[in-house]
Structure 1
Amino acid sequence: MGAIIGYVRVSTEEQQTGAQRHAIESRYKVDRWFSDDAVSGATKAARRGGFSSLMSYIREGDTLVVNAIDRLGRDTVDVLETVERLHAEGVAVVSIREGFELGTPVGKAMLTMLAAIAELERSNIKARQMAGILKARAEGRRLGREKVIDDRAVAEWRWTNNETITRTAQHFRISVPSVKRAWRRAREEGWLKTDASQAG
């Protein structure tokens, strides 16, 4: 028989984990405790110190018990991924408040509901991202990857045309610091035919 693992979390330093522990201990004899104190539920489970240690410790056949499903997190997508990962590793997940146990029909039904909510959240995130992209385009802001700059081409164009740094930046549609960097590299690495040094 596997171990009973208790996990508790509070979001602020003013809060205490005592009530959560008591609720769990009233139903289960816990073999090992893990906690995250003053850690927001918005923080991904994998980035919490206590939960990360729990994931390293827990084994197939163990049961993870929380007082409420929101102790695992407040991001539905993250909670679903966490529960699915535990399930894949053969770990049962029990939430006392919701009566959520992954291995039971009711637990599986709740997991299905959780998945539906998570999918809705993913869709909402994509919709917000698209709205942001459309707004940026409407405002004339550039999107996508940062432009790849050919330092040698920039330096040689400036040298050949005897142009200033500012004019070169405008020609290539890059920043002044980028032109300065290209020019410095050209002189250091000897790309130019002569040691020209136009004023910028």
Structure 2
Amino acid sequence: MAVVGYVRVSTGEQNVEAQRHSIEQIHKIEEWFADEGVSGAVKAMERPGFSELFKYVRKGDVLVVSAVDRLGRDTIDVLNTVEVLRGKGVSIISLREGFDLSTPMGKAMLTMLAAVAELERSNIKARQMAGIARAKAEGKALGREKTIDDASVAQWRKDNGASIQATAAQFGISPASVKRACRAV
């Protein structure tokens, strides 16, 4: 029986050390798995670190996470993740919530907490969309500032009879940017 830890942060600016530290205060972890810069919106089995964890764990192992939201943000994905781990005979302990997710009471709590996490994510998205709508109404420019001159790109491509790829290489931009530039003029 191994005790494994899983940590995840959503952005590259964050790090997993605080999660590791909180887990190590209570559990002796034999093997660590991490996903850094990977959103909880990405399904667990599609994350490289979690995928490795899933291949590693076996019947009788215990997975420790700092919080349920480290497993994911989507209720269905979190519940499916817990089920496939339980199917392998793996127990899951969530420190923040303070329960063992492999018990019936733990599973009931997980369902409620995952639903709350999904609701919060929806609320964040709604606030974000409201902010974008307000910014548009105020006439603010959204998105990254344009760094290329569409006319120059289109003219160079035309003058040189160049392909989209060659034009992209010439200007150091993506092929999609070349296509947009040529459509814009």
Normalising by structure 1, what TM-score? Answer: 0.55
Structure 1 residues 104 and 38 mapped into 2: Cα distance closer, same or farther (>3 Å)? same
State how far apart, in whole Å, the 2-side matches of 1:100 and 1:20 are.
17
Partner of 2:178: none
> What fraction of aligned residue pairs are identical, expressed as a percent?
61
User: Does the residue aligned with 2:39 lie in a helix, a strand or coil?
Assistant: coil
Deviating above 6 A after TM superposition, structure 1's stretches of 4 or more consecutive aligned residues are none
Deviations 1:35-76 (A, max 9, x none): 001001100111100000000000000000000000011111
Worse-matched range after superposition: 100-109 or 39-48? 100-109
Shift of 1:112: 4.8
Structure 1 residues 103 and 80 mapped into 2: Cα distance closer, same or farther (>3 Å)? closer
Structure 1 residues 112 and 50 mapped into 2: Cα distance closer, same or farther (>3 Å)? closer
State how far apart, in whole Å, the 2-side matches of 1:77 and 1:108 are.
13
State how far apart, in whole Å, the 2-side matches of 1:45 and 1:69 are.
12
Deviations 1:92-114 (A, max 9, x none): 00100011312445313314536
Alignment of 1:2-81 (within 5 A): 2-81=1-80
Shift of 1:89: 1.1
Alignment of 1:110-125 (within 5 A): 110-113=109-112, 117=115
Gap runs ≥5 in structure 2 = 120-185
State how far apart, in whole Å, the 1-side matches of 2:50 and 2:14 are.
18
Gap runs ≥5 in structure 1 = 122-200
Deviations 1:152-192 (A, max 9, x none): xxxxxxxxxxxxxxxxxxxxxxxxxxxxxxxxxxxxxxxxx
User: Does the residue aligned with 1:54 lie in a helix, a strand or coil?
Assistant: helix
- Answer yes or no: is the 8 Å Cα contact 1:87–1:102 preserved in 2: no
Shift of 1:88: 1.3
Code of the residue aligned with 2:31 in structure 1: it is R
- Answer yes or no: is the 8 Å Cα contact 2:67–2:96 preserved in 1: yes
User: Does the residue aligned with 1:97 lie in a helix, a strand or coil?
Assistant: coil
Normalising by structure 2, what TM-score? Answer: 0.59
Q: Report which of the two structures shows the higher radius of gyration computed on alpha carbons.
A: 1
**RMSD between aligned residues:** 2.2
